[in-house]
Structure formats: structure tokens, C-alpha cells
């Protein structure tokens, strides 16, 4: 008996992407088996965490790696590490930041909301946030002015399609600007695992990535960075990081997911899947389809469908059995991400789109 039947929850087709309210992603069978094995065994957790850190470093080019509960937790714990380091007294004191540098500089356009504001995740550690520049523009001069203030603990940058539209922040230049001021730099790149090597090459003290998105591990925040900073992240387990620590199943799952990761083959397969879908959707009446590369640079292509009455079509897709969840784009647009979907699920989406668009054509004809 499957999960849906056992607990009476809806079976869904997730074309919304790696979206937490829909279960994020599908874990491959070998990864699920490794997690099941781990749940039935005892470990010295620090040893398992060491193995996971070593595997993350080898897979991404980072000096060191660590696993925490999720990427939101990684933000809080990384800020804590920037403020307290590995000092036991400071770790025990947080979120009381008395006597510690505790300002976190964030480009204004990098204040994002993924179901929780990332600024709240920063403040949970006891830090104070200073926004640099404006949502439309934050250049290196704006960042340097903010970084020059006394008491700055770190710079936090975001690499995500959720970043506000405007002139992009030069991430590599921002990292260099922080280091020139003696300030650690942290990059939140939750949905960017396929770019992990590129991002670690920026030279940031830590890059934060979600394991459960494109790596398809169990829920896990991956911290990739320098040995000193990653050590400080792990040391927060003795303080506020205790409630954000990794479980044995997440550690085992990350290790297994790294073994299963197919890298360039995965990228090529997903690109081909998106290309086929755009071609097939374009053949449906009333639909114009185009590919939409990830604006943050992840090698993930989504499909944008332009059609009449897009909100109604989205509602019909979500009201079906099984419900199909998509994203809405600009006016008259639906956005679909096909990662993790099977060929049968993609065929179902196309069939349902065909039914909805035929209804639209009939309505239009009746009005004439």
C-alpha cells in the first residue's frame, strides 16, 4: 500500500518545480534504500557526518562540507558561525550577541521570501540585517560602504530566480569586497546544486545548497566552504544549531544521493525533456510554448506556455484527478518545470492542456 492510499493524501503531478509544499522532489530508489538501512542501524553520528562532509567536498570542489537540517537552517547556522566562530562561550550565548560582531549585510534585492523571509532566518541567530543599495541596483561601492561599518559579521548573497529583478550583483566581486574588509561571505544558492562547483569557485566562506531539490536527497542543507568556516558551522550543534542538526537518515541519504548523481547526463536528460515538451505543447491549439532557462544560471529549463485565460487553465489543472500543479508567469502565461516527472505524467499534462484549450476555443467560437 502506497503513501497516498495508506494515509489518504492526494496523488499529485508536480509541474511546479522543487517546491516544498508539494514534497520538493523524488528520491531515487537507491537513495531511499540507503535511508531505510540507516533508520535500522546505530552510528557514531560524527563519523557519518565526517563521511558526508568528505563526499560533499569531493563532489563540489569545496575544501570542506557539512550537512544541517535544511537550507533555511543553514542560513541561520552560517550566520551563527560567522558571529561566534568555534568559541564555546559565544556559541552558548547565542542569540545573545553581546560583545560579538553581529551585523549581516545583504544586497537589498537579495532579501527574498521562499515561504519564510531569508532576513528572518538571519535574525534567528540574533543578528542585525543591513540592506545595501536598492532592490533595482546594488553595486560594489554600495556593498563596500555597508561592509566598512563597524561590527559586520558577514555578507550574505543569494543566487536564485527569487532575487528581485534589476541589475545583477557581481557575486565574485562582492565576495572579494567582503574579504578585502576581513568579512566572511556566504552565498545562499538553495536550488543550485548542479552549479555547485561553479559557486564554490567564487571563493565564498560558505555556499548553502538544498540537498532535497536537484540532488534529490532527503531534506538536508548542504554547507560547502572553507575548513575553518565549516568547522564553525558544525560546532553550532552545541548551541542554537542543536535544533537544526542533521539526522542519520539525512546524512546517509546525502551520501547515497551523491553516489547516484549523474551530473552532465542529468543536465542533458532534463534539457531534452523540456525541449520535447515545448515542441508537443506548441502543437496544441491556442498554445504558444517557449523554453525558459533558469535566470540564476542553474542548468534547468522550464517551459512557458502563453494561452488565453491562463488562470482558468491553471485552476482546471489543479482541480483534476490527479491535480496538476503549475506556476503562473506573466499575464497569460503558465510556467512548468518537468524535473522528476515521468513520461506518463508529462503525457497526462499534455492531454489535460488539450482538453482545456479545446474548451477555450469553443468558448471563443460561441462568443463570435
pLDDT digits (tens, 9 = 90+) for 148-169: 999 999 999 999 989 988 889 9
User: How far is it, in rounded angstroms, from Cα 256 to Cα 227?
Assistant: 23
> Which is nearest to 253 in space by CA: 209, 217, 216?
217
pLDDT value of position 6:
87
pLDDT value of position 367:
45
- Distance linking the first and last C-alpha atoms of the chain: 51
Task: Please give the model's pTM, rounded to 2 decimal places.
Answer: 0.93
User: How far is it, in rounded angstroms, from Cα 208 to Cα 244?
Assistant: 14
pLDDT value of position 330:
83
pLDDT value of position 359:
66
Host H or E run for residue 246: none
pLDDT value of position 120:
98
User: How far is it, in rounded angstroms, from Cα 76 to Cα 85?
Assistant: 13
Share of the chain above pLDDT 90, in %: 88
10-residue mean pLDDT series, the chain (368 residues): 84 93 93 96 96 98 97 98 98 97 97 94 98 95 96 97 90 97 97 96 97 96 98 97 96 97 91 95 94 92 93 94 92 94 96 84 50
For all residues of the chain together, what is the average pLDDT? 94
Write down the residue that cell numbers 561592509 correspond to.
147
User: How far is it, in rounded angstroms, from Cα 98 to Cα 105?
Assistant: 18
User: How far is it, in rounded angstroms, from Cα 50 to Cα 48?
Assistant: 5
All domains of the chain in start order, with CATH:
3-20+263-367 (3.90.1150.180), 42-260 (3.40.640.10)
User: Can you list the pairs that 6-13 forms with residues at least 24 positions away whose Cβ atoms lie under 8 Å?
Assistant: 10/322, 10/323, 11/322, 12/322, 12/323, 12/324, 12/325, 13/322, 13/323, 13/324, 13/325, 13/341, 13/345, 13/348, 13/349
Amino acid at each position: 500500500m502506497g503513501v497516498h492510499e495508506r494515509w489518504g493524501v492526494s496523488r499529485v503531478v508536480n509541474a511546479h518545480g522543487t517546491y516544498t509544499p508539494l514534497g520538493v522532489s523524488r528520491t531515487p530508489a537507491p537513495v531511499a534504500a540507503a535511508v531505510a538501512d540507516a533508520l535500522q542501524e546505530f552510528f557514531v553520528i560524527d563519523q557519518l557526518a565526517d563521511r558526508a562532509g568528505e563526499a560533499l567536498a569531493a563532489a563540489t570542489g569545496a575544501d570542506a562540507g557539512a550537512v544541517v537540517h535544511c537550507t533555511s537552517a543553514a542560513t541561520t547556522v552560517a550566520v551563527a558561525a560567522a558571529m561566534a566562530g568555534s568559541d564555546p562561550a559565544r556559541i552558548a550565548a547565542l542569540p545573545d550577541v553581546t560583545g560579538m560582531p553581529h551585523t549581516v549585510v545583504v544586497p537589498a534585492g537579495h532579501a527574498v521570501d521562499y515561504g519564510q523571509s531569508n532576513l528572518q532566518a538571519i535574525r534567528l541567530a540574533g543578528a542585525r540585517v543591513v540592506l545595501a543599495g536598492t532592490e533595482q541596483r546594488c553595486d560594489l561601492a554600495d556593498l563596500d560602504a555597508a561592509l566598512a561599518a563597524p561590527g559586520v559579521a558577514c555578507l550574505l548573497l543569494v543566487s536564485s530566480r527569487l532575487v528581485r529583478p534589476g541589475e545583477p550583483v557581481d557575486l565574485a566581486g562582492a565576495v572579494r569586497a567582503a574579504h578585502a574588509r576581513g568579512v566572511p561571505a556566504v552565498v545562499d544558492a538553495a536550488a543550485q546544486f548542479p552549479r555547485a562547483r561553479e559557486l564554490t569557485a567564487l571563493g565564498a566562506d560558505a555556499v548553502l545548497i538544498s540537498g532535497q531539490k536537484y540532488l534529490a536527497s532527503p531534506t538536508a542543507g548542504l554547507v560547502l566552504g572553507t575548513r575553518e568556516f565549516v568547522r564553525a558551522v558544525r560546532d553550532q550543534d552545541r548551541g542554537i544549531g542543536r535544533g537544526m542538526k542533521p539526522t542519520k537518515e539525512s546524512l546517509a541519504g546525502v551520501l547515497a544521493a551523491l553516489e547516484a548523481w549523474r551530473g552532465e547526463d542529468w543536465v542533458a536528460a532534463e534539457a531534452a525533456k523540456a525541449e520535447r515538451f515545448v515542441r508537443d505543447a506548441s502543437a496544441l491549439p491556442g498554445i504558444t510554448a517557449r523554453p525558459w532557462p533558469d535566470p540564476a544560471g542553474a542548468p534547468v529549463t522550464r517551459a512557458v506556455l502563453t494561452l488565453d485565460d491562463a488562470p482558468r487553465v491553471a485552476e482546471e489543472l489543479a482541480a483534476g484527478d490527479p491535480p496538476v500543479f503549475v506556476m503562473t508567469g506573466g499575464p497569460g502565461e503558465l510556467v512548468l518545470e518537468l524535473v522528476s516527472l515521468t513520461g506518463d505524467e508529462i503525457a497526462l499534462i499534455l492531454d489535460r492542456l488539450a482538453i482545456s484549450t479545446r474548451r477555450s476555443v469553443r468558448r471563443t467560437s460561441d462568443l463570435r
